Amino acid sequence: MSEGTSTERPTRARHPSGGTFDFISGPWQRLPARVRQWAPLAIVLAVAVLYPYIVGDLKSFATIGDFFPELDAAVYILVFTMMALGLNIVVGYSGLLDLGYVAFYAAGAYTAGWLASGQFQEVSFHFGSVGIQRDTQGIHVSVWLVLLIAGSFTAIVGILIGLPTLRLRGDYLAIVTLGFGEIIPQVVRNGDSFGGFNVTNGTFGINPIDSPGFGTTLNDAVGLPVNFQQSFDKFRLFYWGILVLLLITVFCSWRLRDSRLGRAWIAIREDETAAAAMGVPLMRTKTWAYAIGAFFGGVAGAYYASFKSGAFPSDFYFNISVFLLCMVILGGMGSIWGVLAGGIILSWLNIQGLAVIGDKFNDAAGTNFEIAKYQFGIYGTIIVLMMLFRPTGLIPERRHKRELEEGVHDETFFDVSH
Amino acid sequence: MAALIRRPRPRAISLVGLGFVFLIGVWLLVNLLKDPERFFTVFLIGLTTGLVYALVALGYTLVYGILQLINFAHGDVFAFTGLLASTMILTVFDLTDQDSAGVIILGLLGTLVVVVAFGATLNSLIERVAYHRLLKAPRLALLITAVGMSFIVQNVALAIYDVNFRRVPELIPRSDVFSIGGVHYQWNKLSVVLITIPVLLLLTWLVRSTRQGKGMRATAQDPDAAAMVGIDVNRTISFTFALAGGLAGVGGLLFLLQFNIRYDSGFELGLIAFTAAVLGGIGNLSGAVLGAVVIGLIQAFNEGLTWATPGSDWTRSIIFGVLIAILVFRPQGILGEQVADRA
Amino acid sequence: MAVEDVLVVEDLRKEFGGLIAVNDVDFKVPRHSIVSLIGPNGAGKTTFFNMLTGMYPATSGRIVFDGTDVTNKPPHAITALGVGRTFQNIRLFEQMTTLENVLVGMHARLKGGILTSILGTPGVRREERAARTRARELLQFSGLRGRDDQLARNLPYGDQRRLEVARALATNPKLLLLDEPTAGMNPQETAAFTGFVGKLRSEEKLTVLLIEHDMRVVMGISDRVTVLDYGEKIAEGTPHDVQSDERVIEAYLGRGAA
């Protein structure tokens, strides 16, 4: 996705060492540049959109069929991948080590809990909600609108957290964000009596939470589903819903990266003192990174809460922040394709992959090893190994630019003369 | 190389900070007057816990002083040593509260030696394997690696000890050492003091007077200059990690004797100890001890006093609140000097 | 109406704890001139620069740029007012391309915001196109044509120095601060660079303030030379005057060399 690509065939770039895939890359290089640029995206998009139709067939394959996620797991995967993209803006683009991203997830989820459930029994306010009787107590706003509100509210939370935090140096920033990532869930857990007022329903959480939908009018007119949760193909609808949200997130990330703000973020990441000297206002720019990263986290959190029809304090804990960080590191800091890959791989491992791999291993070896129990050890190992051996990630940022360079350059991420 | 120095803090923020401290003072005073016996009992508990935290806080501050790295894995090393101590006590030495004082003391000393060695080795190993190659890398990379290491250590402990809490029998009796008015102080608490104080004195001597200690201080101040005068910076760094790990070992044993430990106890305890180090002034050894004692007191007061007290549900948030407040209002901590950020 | 002196510094002082790095220095830079700041290592020249650009807060004193008091303003604000700088040890954005490095320099001059960037409005597109054109012009002017998409970290040393200048020029400065710009250059490169600085003044109408150690550059191009030693101004005048000043010779070579 580079800017200024010409349609003429570029000069053949010299391949980096390690020609394992030369039999593919040979013919691949001969396709016109436009095709090469957009083909991967088109293929992935097609597979993603059609997945609900083919998942049944995929799962029927012997042995490898078990590895394909069912649609509800797929929703989980896409939700967390979306959050990883949000974190990518903070960590990947701007270089701000945020260890408390789970706070944004919680803020989004609870916004959905406040605005689309029976939590606030004192009032009865309906605005575009679907599938609920008009006289039900509570605040019931259309979930689509709630997503927007959740994102905005979470962005504000991000700005508030950022005010004291973003002026701090890297390691302190990490610890303080970790602190907020801990405080907010604890606030949520103890939130059943703030001055006698039940805000978060404490350890019981808020449930049920309303479902997204298009209402009866649109259903009569164009056949759009009234109410996701009550539809017979509920999981497909939720799946396509999060797919759209994810694509929007990808689009925004992409556009921002090649914009004035995106350049400012990366400059801050590379050398914030020099960035300031070049006219980039540090606090303001970092706060924007935080706010936008938080926005996407909030939207994802709200959508997932609606999907699960609940928001519970036990959903939010520190390890999730590290889990998301691991996705960004594995995929490649600042790399959209990378974070997509890292997000999908790790979320899949978490929700299904580790269990399936564990079972297959146990069946084959006759052991009783609960591999899923050690998942965070695995993620920790991934982080350390990536940092030591491939800090640019699976799909490094800037890869497409490197292909245009003369010759092969040393892949060291760390300038020895630093 | 240009460094960025923080601007002078606006007055308004300092006033808010001071106002807050004042409120705390009032709260303590009221509690003291309402129930002095309880106050002093809680005070002594806080002091004692604080000393245990000090041992871990020192580990953070030593490593930070020399590398400007928050060693996230340190808390987990601490927990691991505590778990190992439980194995030593329960399985290897098979100590029970029925054993004679002599046997118990010997057993505990043996355990102490083992866990100190283990802590030192584990911490050095982590540095060699993970951090060493990244010393010249951007700070972000090192920090992220420390987070990853933390989880690895935790999960190794998990693999060995599973999710259960480990505790040891009451090897040191809870009978009173003294009891003034209604204020009691038990033997098991005194033992903490009896062990920690000599360790701290030993550490002070080590840092002040030995060659290794001087090497550490020199490297902390200016690694390039230290290298130029012939100090083996790499050895010094390894030594510092070993020292920090050894201190964590002592802390782990002492903590185990008071409370119980689990594979993930290190996370919360590590954060508490790190907050203590920052509170006292990161990089400053006396600061770490002072900060730890203050944090121990804060925790004890929060969980033990009765008037207008948030309670143990809020301990974590309060500690983090302290951390955030310190970093915003007075980042150099109580004892630190205002230091220029390295670029 | 333009102020006569682009930069006026009054009684500027910087203390680090007990150490006085810059000691009540008065300093003026006339518009369209080229001024060199020289002095032995550790004289406080870079500290002085860092205060001018807002990176260090001054302990006391005043800095007035183009009629505006900029003392203790944050760096990005001072840059927006028209002060550009390069760094003594190159501080490029290594993972960004040559073109992007220059584009960052334009940050304060561009307007693209979040929503407009995401939506790709015609206004933003136009602005980005114009910015890229200007960036390429600056790169060409600085002798870096055709390397737009190369990563900054892969440029040879001399080109990195040029990129630093191009990037500083992108901030659209009235005053350009160059911190030891010829460090590590051979005589030919130095001569070329000296000519380049002259071009900056004559073609771009800039005012230039240099920190330099290379006396050929200082003598060759400066209208005026100011000498610092131990944070104090010990001499000021034309290159010729300063060259034969006793205190200057002493500062560089020690007593008894005058």
Whole-number pLDDT of residue B311 = 80
B59–chain A nearest CA distance, Å? 16
- Which residues of chain B make contact with A168, given a CB cutoff of 8 A? 327, 331
Q: How far is CA A146 from the centre of its chain?
A: 18
Q: Which residues contact A83 (CB under 8 A, 6 or more apart)?
A: A101, A104, A105, A296, A297, A300, A301, A324, A343
Residues 104-163 of C with CB under 8 A from A: 104-114, 117-120, 124, 128, 132, 149-151, 153-154
CB A139 within 8 A of CB A116: yes
Res. A228 pLDDT band, cuts 50 70 90: confident
To test the contact with chain B by mutation, choose from A91, A175, A319 the residue with the greatest count of B C-beta atoms within 10 A, namely A175
* ∠ Cα A225 A230 A232 (to 5°): 75
B176-180 and C19-30 beta bridge pairing: unpaired
Whole-number pLDDT of residue A266 = 95
Q: How many CA atoms lie within 13 A of A273 on its CB side?
A: 21
Rg of chain C over Cα atoms, rounded to whole angstroms, equals: 19
- Which residues of chain C make contact with A4, given a CB cutoff of 8 A? 132
Write the ipTM: 0.92
Nearest to B145 among A186, A384, A414 (CB): A384
CB B53 within 8 A of CB B194: no
C115–chain B nearest CA distance, Å? 29
Two tokens at B198?
């000599």
Q: Which subunits sit against C, judged by 3+ Cβ pairs under 8 A?
A: A, B
- Which residues of chain B make contact with A318, given a CB cutoff of 8 A? 267
Helix count (H) and strand count (E) of chain B? 12, 2
CB B296 within 8 A of CB B192: no
Mean pLDDT of A209-233: 80
SS3 call for C92: coil
Place of tokens 């000043």: C245
- Which residues of chain B make contact with A380, given a CB cutoff of 8 A? 147-152, 154-155
A89–chain C nearest CA distance, Å? 13
Whole-number pLDDT of residue A33 = 78
pLDDT under 70: residue ranges of chain B: 1-14, 337-343
Residue boundaries of the structural domains of chain C: 1-82+173-258, 96-166
Residue B21, Cβ density class (10 Å: 0-12 exposed, 13-18 middle, ≥19 buried)? exposed
CB contact under 8 A, B136 and A416: yes
In this prediction, what percent of chain B has a pLDDT beyond 70? 94
Whole-number pLDDT of residue B333 = 85
Is A270 touching C (CB cutoff 8 A)?
yes
- Which residues of chain A make contact with B80, given a CB cutoff of 8 A? none
Which residues sit opposite B31 in a β-bridge? Answer: none
Which residues sit opposite C62 in a β-bridge? Answer: C10
Q: How many CB pairs below 8 Å do chains A and C form together?
A: 115
Mean pLDDT of A186-206: 79
- Which residues of chain C make contact with B337, given a CB cutoff of 8 A? 17
CB contact under 8 A, C97 and A259: no
Residue boundaries of the structural domains of chain A: 75-316
Residue of A nearest to C173 (CA): A278
Greater confidence (C171 vs A224) lies with: C171
Residue of C nearest to A264 (CA): C104
Is A325 touching B (CB cutoff 8 A)?
yes
Q: pLDDT averaged over chain C?
A: 89
Please report, in angstroms and rounded to a whole number, the separation of the first and last CA atoms in chain C. Answer: 45
Residue of A nearest to C111 (CA): A260
CB contact under 8 A, A279 and C103: no
- Which residues of chain B make contact with C57, given a CB cutoff of 8 A? 5, 7-8
Residue of B nearest to C57 (CA): B7
User: pLDDT of A154-185, one tens digit each?
Assistant: 999 999 999 888 888 888 898 889 888 888 88
Three-state SS string over A314-380 comes to: HHCCHHHHHHHHHHHHHHCCCCHHHHHHHHHHHHHHHHHHHHHHHHHHHHHHCCCCCHHHHHHHHHH
Is B324 touching A (CB cutoff 8 A)?
yes
Whole-number pLDDT of residue B275 = 92
Two tokens at B2?
């240009």
In whole angstroms, give the CA distance from residue B122 to residue A373: 23
Q: Which of B261, B287, B263, B262 is nearest to B274 (CA)?
A: B287
Superfamily grouping for domain C1-82+173-258: P-loop containing nucleotide triphosphate hydrolases (3.40.50.300)
Res. A399 pLDDT band, cuts 50 70 90: low
To test the contact with chain B by mutation, choose from C50, C90, C179 the residue with the greatest count of B C-beta atoms within 10 A, namely C50
C17–chain B nearest CA distance, Å? 9
Mean pLDDT of A33-42: 82
Global confidence as pTM: 0.88
CB contact under 8 A, C75 and A251: no
Two tokens at A344?
């999908």
- pLDDT of A47 > 70? The answer is yes
Res. A198 pLDDT band, cuts 50 70 90: confident
Q: How many CA atoms lie within 13 A of A108 on its CB side?
A: 35
- pLDDT of A307 > 90? The answer is yes
In whole angstroms, give the CA distance from residue A280 to residue A284: 9
To test the contact with chain A by mutation, choose from C51, C106, C149 the residue with the greatest count of A C-beta atoms within 10 A, namely C149
C136–chain A nearest CA distance, Å? 13
**What's at C89, amino acid-wise?**
N
User: pLDDT of A82-136, one tens digit each?
Assistant: 999 999 999 999 999 999 999 999 999 999 998 888 878 777 888 877 777 777 7
Q: Which phi and psi (to 5°) does residue C21 adopt? A: -85, -35
Element containing residue A173 per DSSP (H, E): helix A170-189
Nearest to B151 among A95, A182, A380 (CB): A380
Instruction: Kindly report the length of chain C.
Output: 258
Residues 370-399 of A with CB under 8 A from C: 397-398
Q: How many CB pairs below 8 Å do chains A and B form together?
A: 128
Nearest to C55 among B2, B8, B337 (CB): B2
Q: Which residues contact A350 (CB under 8 A, 6 or more apart)?
A: A80, A323, A375
Residue of B nearest to A186 (CA): B317
In whole angstroms, give the CA distance from residue A319 to residue A181: 10
- Which residues of chain A make contact with C74, given a CB cutoff of 8 A? 276, 281-282
